[in-house]
């Protein structure tokens, strides 16, 4: 196929490019110099471009010449963000605009609320907050820079004087990251898988020596109680409709709702990712159990993206899946 599936060499690049090659696409990775050797050594990556986040615009012309479609992922969102998404002028799989919403915590929560998805209460002032609360400082990376206050005294002591944080009800329960795929080609939202994160210092042998930091070190696969699935699919569908209403464009491709599920089986969504999440890597090469509900063979998220792109390309409908 005369299309080059391209992404940044990080996050979920292995999964995306392995699947693209398998489905007959050309493949390219944009890599920082110190990682080039690793990515170049993998047979399914046909071409590498060496560039840092500040140098992406220089690649626009060469990538256009290769008929590139770019797959944004978590590292692109974190290191390049909405400004680069706007100026990196090659077709993106999925929504470019949503990267801007994902960058602003309050906008993110507003989108979830407008979708009618249950979320933790957000408090504007310490006075109205009902502990336990979690305070998320703006720019905190990987959950480092968050703190949990059990009571009002701790909250008042630790709350920064400057703005730039959000304060949420701390929901007691288990974290669950639910993977979805919004498909214009099949005209549906698919519930595609789930994972949990393996985080320091909440999953580690902390022995009371450290405060929780929630720094993601890896991910583990998860299957959910079957009785939760209809509700979770409905939340995914509501999310896709809310994106369409708010941005005036269709939700396309992978996304994730990040929730705490309580012992009363309430689902409270505290975050979303509007693109592929690293937790889907747990199904690389083996496929997620839920993918077999839609397709006869298990698929990973990279394969699901490649399938959507392939159908769109064959039917001359690339405009429906790119922005």
Pairing of strands 122-123, 165-169: antiparallel
Rounded distance between C-alpha atoms, residue 133 and residue 176, angstroms:
19
Task: State the minimum distance, in angstroms, from the CB of residue 234 to ligand AMP.
Answer: 21
Query: CB within 8 A of 7, min separation 6: which ones?
Result: 13, 16, 17, 29, 30, 70, 71, 72, 73, 76
Cα Rg of the chain (Å, integer) = 20
Q: Which residue in 300, 306, 252, 308 sits closest to 279, CA to CA? A: 300
Task: State the minimum distance, in angstroms, from the CB of residue 258 to ligand AMP.
Answer: 6
Residue closer to ligand AMP by CB (options 247, 256) is: 256
Query: What are 255's strand-pairing partners?
Result: 180
Residue closer to ligand AMP by CB (options 6, 105) is: 105
Q: Which residue in 120, 145, 111 sits closest to 246, CA to CA? A: 111
Task: State the minimum distance, in angstroms, from the CB of residue 214 to ligand AMP.
Answer: 4
Task: State the minimum distance, in angstroms, from the CB of residue 47 to ligand AMP.
Answer: 33
Pairing of strands 68-70, 4-8: parallel
Distance linking the first and last C-alpha atoms of the chain: 20
Residue closer to ligand AMP by CB (options 6, 119) is: 119
Residue closer to ligand AMP by CB (options 170, 295) is: 170
Residue closer to ligand AMP by CB (options 32, 78) is: 78
Question: What SS3 class is residue 62?
Answer: helix
Residue closer to ligand AMP by CB (options 49, 270) is: 270
Residue closer to ligand AMP by CB (options 43, 139) is: 139
Task: State the minimum distance, in angstroms, from the CB of residue 228 to ligand AMP.
Answer: 18
Task: State the minimum distance, in angstroms, from the CB of residue 266 to ligand AMP.
Answer: 12
Binding site for ligand AMP (CB under 6 A): 120, 134, 143, 168-171, 175, 197, 214, 258, 260, 270-271
- Please say whether the beta carbons of 91 and 321 come within 8 A: no
Token pair 């012309």 in the structure block, residue: 61
Task: State the minimum distance, in angstroms, from the CB of residue 15 to ligand AMP.
Answer: 20
Rounded distance between C-alpha atoms, residue 254 and residue 277, angstroms:
8
């Amino acid at each position: 196929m005369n299309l080059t599936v391209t992404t940044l060499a990080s996050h979920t690049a292995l999964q995306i490019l392995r699947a693209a090659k398998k489905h007959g696409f050309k493949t390219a990775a944009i890599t920082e110099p110190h990682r080039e050797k690793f990515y170049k050594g993998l047979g399914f990556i046909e071409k590498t471009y060496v560039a840092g986040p500040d140098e992406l615009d220089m690649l626009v012309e060469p990538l256009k010449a290769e008929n590139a479609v770019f797959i944004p992922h978590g590292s692109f969102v974190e290191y390049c963000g909405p400004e680069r998404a706007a100026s990196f002028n090659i077709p993106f799989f999925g929504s470019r605009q949503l990267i801007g919403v994902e960058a602003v915590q309050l906008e993110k929560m507003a989108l979830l609320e407008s979708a009618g998805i249950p979320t933790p209460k957000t408090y504007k002032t310490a006075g109205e907050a009902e502990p336990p609360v979690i305070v998320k400082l703006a720019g905190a990376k990987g959950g480092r820079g968050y703190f949990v206050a059990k009571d009002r005294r701790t909250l008042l002591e630790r709350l920064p004087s400057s703005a730039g944080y959000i304060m949420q009800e701390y929901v007691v329960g288990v974290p669950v990251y639910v993977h979805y795929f919004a498909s214009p080609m099949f005209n549906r939202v698919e519930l595609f898988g789930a994972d949990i994160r393996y985080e320091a210092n909440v999953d580690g042998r902390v022995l009371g020596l450290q405060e929780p930091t929630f720094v993601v070190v890896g991910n583990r696969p998860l299957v959910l109680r079957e009785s939760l699935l209809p509700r979770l699919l409905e939340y995914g569908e509501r999310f896709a409709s809310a994106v369409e209403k708010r941005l005036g464009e269709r939700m396309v491709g992978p996304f994730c709702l990040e929730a705490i599920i309580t012992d009363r089986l309430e689902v409270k969504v505290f975050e979303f990712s509007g693109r592929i999440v690293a937790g889907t890597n747990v199904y690389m090469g083996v496929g997620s159990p839920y993918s077999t509900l839609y397709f006869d063979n298990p698929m990973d998220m990279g394969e699901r993206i490649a399938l959507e792109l392939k159908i769109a390309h064959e039917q001359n409908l690339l405009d429906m899946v790119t922005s």
